[in-house]
Amino acid sequence: MHIQFAELPVIDQDRAKAFYTEHLACQLIADQPMGDSGWRWIELAFPFAVTNLHFTKRDDDAPGTEPVLVLVDDNVEATIAALKARGVEIITEPQEAPWQPGRTVAEFRDSEGNRMVVASK
């Protein structure tokens, strides 16, 4: 058993799709109309992951205060440096997780104001 997709609230689907494909190397799995609303079913896949990402409509544009996803990465420092070089807002620089000694964590904000964590294994 595995989780098929995680839902991520967004305001602008095209902007979010560009962010995740350009900054986090996601591949587009689906981009299909959903009825007459103008909203689309967009599903992205992270490299080597089983769980995909699906965009849901966000209620407002207020930045998220709590992390919505934890992305596990082999090199947190390099990932954060690459995001920073591309102009992505870094909330916390790589540091040891206070709740798990030996684990490195950092936080950034995506194009839609969602707060994300990148953590080592």
Question: What pTM did the predictor assign?
Answer: 0.90
Could you read off the pLDDT of 45-97 as tens digits, one per residue?
999 999 999 999 998 989 889 999 999 999 999 999 999 999 999 999 999 99
3-state DSSP call for residue 86? coil
What are the structural domains, with CATH classification, of the chain?
5-119 (3.10.180.10)
Q: In whole angstroms, give the CA distance from residue 105 to residue 80.
A: 10
